[in-house]
Each structure stands twice: as structure tokens, then as C-alpha cells.
Structure 1
Amino acid sequence: MRTNSKLLVPAALVAALSIAALTGCSGGGSGSSSTPAASASQEAAAKSLPSDFPKSDVPLVAGTVIVANGDKNDGWSVTVQPKDKNGFADAKAALEKAGYTAQPGATDSRAVYKNATYTVAVGTPGVAVTYAVTAN
């Protein structure tokens, strides 16, 4: 048993260091080489909004739509990769400008807005902005 446990510790250490090294290479650096690749993959992944999505009633933040599902009966789910890092703040401002009222319980990353026709839950898991839209 000792021989096995001695082998497991170095193997686990190597695995942990490898993961840390990979995370460091792909994380928040300012390397411009990752930006074109990210932009290219975002463009390739662009989706169209469902045909019955209420585009004129529910303003979306400017950017690339990367998820677009749903319909009028069940509601819609849309995720947008914004053009800048202020996507969540821009999304909230656009909804308020369109006449939506913020509901109690908003946080720095989630909020619910309502008007006479729609309820829009907007959130951000990071930079992207996700909308869940339902008809009232």
C-alpha cells in the first residue's frame, strides 16, 4: 500500500500543478492573441432570435446573440455576448428606458423587470448577459 500512496501523491501534485499552469495561461491576461480567436468563435456561434421574439418590446444589449431559444407560449431565453464589459449595466438601463420597472431583490448580477406585457429576468454569469422573457 505504501508504494501506491507514494505514487499517488506525486501524480496528484503534478495534476494540480498542470491545471494551475493551464488556468494561468488562459486566465485574465491582457494578451491580445486570445481576443481575435474569441471574436471569431463568437461570430461563428451567432444565433438568430426566434421569429416571435418581441424585439421591439424587449431591448437587448448590443452584442452577439449566442443563445436564442423559446416561443411565445413558453417564453424565451436569450444570451448575448456584449460588445463591452458593461453589458449587465447597459441591459438594465435599456430595460428601464423602455419603461420596465425593476422588481425588489435585484443584485449585482441578477434583476427582474416588469411592464404591462412582459417580465424580463436579466442576469450575468460573467460578461455575457442572459435574458429570460415571459409574457404576463
Structure 2
Amino acid sequence: MTVLFRVCAALLAVVAGVAVLTACGSDDTTSDRAGVELPADFPSGDVPLVDGALLDATGKDGTWRVTVQAGAADGNALVNATKKLTDDGFVESSRTGDTANQTVTLSRAVDGGTLWVNVGISADASSGPSTVFYQVAKTK
């Protein structure tokens, strides 16, 4: 439970930080997605991200944070992000928050370990509820 609390706390810190800052980035030259590049060791083959521009992507050695600006016309960004993960084999273990600020925790076994993903939205984010925050951790 302590690990879950730490991951949720980290996600909330990211949400608060993005609410204060505006994101900007250059075109990603290694993919067809606009924005910043994912860290080289991000498990992009194992963690499907919602469609949209990458506003922020940091981390290494088994822990990453990614912020995606989903299309406002694409519907509920959290529902879309969660569906992409569950369609890829992730299992939802919890949901927290209210209508404006929500976090979903999911996990999936991969390569002898477990990938934990907290995905969330916040109405306080600079682009409102279409900004999706990912906190990804790989445990053995």
C-alpha cells in the first residue's frame, strides 16, 4: 500500500506542477507524435499512450512521467487512456478522485516484472481535462 501511496503522491505532484507551468516543446523527430521525445528507455512497446502531443516526458531506470495533450474533440481523455491500457492487457486496481481530478491505477506483468501505470486528469491543468498525466513504474 505504501508503494501505491507514493506513486499517487508523485502523480499529484506532477498534476500540480503542470497546472502552474505551461508546456512547450519542439517537434519529436523520432516519431509521428508532436512535442517532446520520450526517454530512450521508456517502455513505449508495453505502455500505450493516448493520442496527442507529448508535453513532457522524463524519467529513467524504471520510473517515468509523461504528459500528453489529448485532442479535446476526442471525448473523455481519461476514459480513452484507460481503455488503451486495458485493451493492451493492463488490469485496473483502483480509482481515486472526483469528477475534476481523477487517477486510475493499472498494472500488467511484463518481462518477469510488473508495469504499474497511474493515469490521471486534472481540471486545473493548463489545458483542462484533455491533459493526461502518466506515472509509470516497472518493478521486478
Partner of 2:108: 115
> Which has the larger strand fraction?
2
Counterpart residue type for residue 134 of structure 1:
A
Pair member with larger Rg: 1
Q: How does 1:44-63 map to 2 (within 5 A)?
A: 46-63=35-52
Q: 1:121 to 1:89 in 2, by over 3 A?
A: same
Structure 1: give runs of 5+ residues left out of the alignment: 1-40
RMSD: 2.0
Partner of 1:35: none
Q: Choose between structure 1 and 2 for higher RCO, CA contacts under 8 A separated by at least 6 residues.
A: 2
Counterpart Cα distance in 2 of 1:57 and 1:77: 15
CA drift of 1:99 comes to: 0.6
Counterpart Cα distance in 1 of 2:106 and 2:43: 15
TM-score, normalised by the number of residues in structure 2: 0.61
Preserved contact between residue 94 and residue 106 of structure 2 (Cα < 8 Å): no
Counterpart residue type for residue 118 of structure 1:
L
Counterpart Cα distance in 2 of 1:133 and 1:106: 17
CA drift of 1:67 comes to: 0.6
Shift >6 Å, 4+ stretches: 41-45
Counterpart Cα distance in 2 of 1:89 and 1:105: 12
Preserved contact between residue 65 and residue 79 of structure 1 (Cα < 8 Å): yes
CA drift of 1:114 comes to: 0.6
> Which has the larger helix fraction?
1
